[in-house]
Amino acid sequence: MSYSTLQKWGWSNFFFQQLSFEEISQEKTVDSIFRITAIHRNRIEAIGACGESSIICPAEFQPVSQYLAVGDWVMAELTNEHHRLSRILEPKNRIRRISNGLPQVIAANLDYLWIITSANDEFKVKRLERYLALAYEFDITPVIILTKTDVCENLDDYLEQLNHLNIDNIHPLSVNTPHTLNALSAYMGEGVSIAVLGSSGVGKSTLINAFFHTELPTREIREDDARGKHTTTHRELFFCDNGVAIIDTPGMRELQLFDPEQGIERTFHSVVELSQQCRYANCSHAAEPGCAIQTAIADGSISQAHFENYCKLLKEEESQKRRTIGAHAVKEHYRQYFKKIHSGNKDQW
Ligand SMILES: Nc1nc2c(ncn2[C@@H]2O[C@H](COP(=O)(O)OP(=O)(O)OP(=O)(O)O)[C@@H](O)[C@H]2O)c(=O)[nH]1
Ligand SMILES: [Mg+2]
Ligand SMILES: [Zn+2]
């Protein structure tokens, strides 16, 4: 087998360069390289040059979900007819969140994050801003997909709200009007990896089935109102005929960001820019004279809700940091942060 066999699973020079000279010179090395497709309690499913394989995880890599995610590239040795995980290759990126107070890796080595929302009561701009911050935090291109447009009467309202998010890739569609899915072809290509995220019931698995002709389980139509039930129960990566790796995920009840600073800055770019124009460096943007944010809210150039969500995410980040680095360090951190924002020197953030 050769390394080019791995390319259709997303292998690239970035990973090849991590191999030692000795590893490259050994012919069997290529057969010990795998991409993770599913993670179970102490075993992972993966695909390599010789096909699919089950890999056993030694204790030092437990609990697996804190170290590894679908999409990761690993090396495994063949011992007693079993593959045993021996090394994790450094990922291009890895999306993480906090779940039950612990870090959790959601997926690794992605090119796009498809953020799915549906044109009904589920739709919340605030939730989308959170997902966008997640994409930006890990430097992955976000794509917003608005599903179920066939059963909505006020599509323009949804589109207008989406326009305010200032992102390039927004696709309204419905699996019941198949031509609306054509726009997604723009993201196809061999070796491209996409994770599909969004609340339960927005139609993630249905969309994947319709577009990639897969047969993932989806919610029965008559169960459409069932709340809190997840049809997809674990994250799974699979490869489509056109060479795209797609990761279906269970709906998220809440998305707590891992280290959202950079993501917040990009999602709320306009708020950050405005705050640099406030008269006082320590402006709290409440009622101070010369507050550029209050002026912008008053003249309608940004919405009150957008600003409030920015404050909320910042606050959340602050309490998260406090838990990990202590109150004093947090205070100092934010002192420096706002000083930098105000001096317009954001490069280091
Ligand atoms: N009318 C209409 N219904 C849709 C559309 N897409 C999905 N649905 C329905 O929405 C319901 C939920 O779809 P799923 O694909 O199971 O949702 P999911 O996001 O994968 O949900 P979880 O796996 O629980 O996270 C199903 O009954 C689908 O038939 C659409 O474009 N139009
Ligand atoms: Mg699903
Ligand atoms: Zn201000």
Residue showing tokens 């420096």:
336
Distance of CA 71 to the CA centre of its chain: 12
Q: Is the CB of 147 under 6 A from ligand 1?
A: yes
Closest CA to 252 of 175, 173, 171, 195: 195
Q: 125-137 and 304-325 are packed helices; what angle lies between their axes, rounded to 10 degrees?
A: 50
Domains recognised in the chain with CATH numbers: 3-88 (2.40.50.140), 94-248 (3.40.50.300), 268-343 (1.10.40)
Å from CA of 194 to ligand 2 middle? 15
Residue 219 CA, ligand 1 centroid: distance in Å: 6
Kindly identify the ligand whose nearest atom is closest to the C-alpha of 201: 1
With beta carbons less than 8 A apart as the criterion, state whether 205 and 218 touch: yes
In the chain, the percentage of residues whose pLDDT exceeds 90 is 47
Look at the chain and count its residues.
349
- Looking at all shown ligands, the one closest to residue 294's CA atom is 3
For 252-262, letters b (16+ CB in 10 Å) and e give: beebbbbebbe
Q: Is the pLDDT assigned to residue 50 strictly greater than 80?
A: yes
Q: Read off φ and ψ for residue 41, nearest 5 degrees.
A: -50, -55
| Ligand 1 nearest-atom number relative to CA 202 | 19
> Of ligand 1's atoms, which has the minimum distance to the CA of residue 220?
27
Q: With a 6 A CB cut-off, is 172 part of the ligand 1 pocket?
A: no
Helical segments of the chain, H only:
3-7, 13-16, 21-25, 64-67, 125-137, 155-163, 204-212, 261-267, 269-275, 292-298, 304-325, 327-343
The CA-based dihedral angle spanning residues 208, 211, 214, 217, taken in that order and rounded to the nearest 10 degrees: 40
Whether the model pTM is above 0.85:
no
**pLDDT tens-place string over residues 194-243:** 999 999 999 999 999 999 988 888 987 655 555 557 888 888 898 988 88
Residue of the CA atom closest to atom 3 of ligand 1: 148
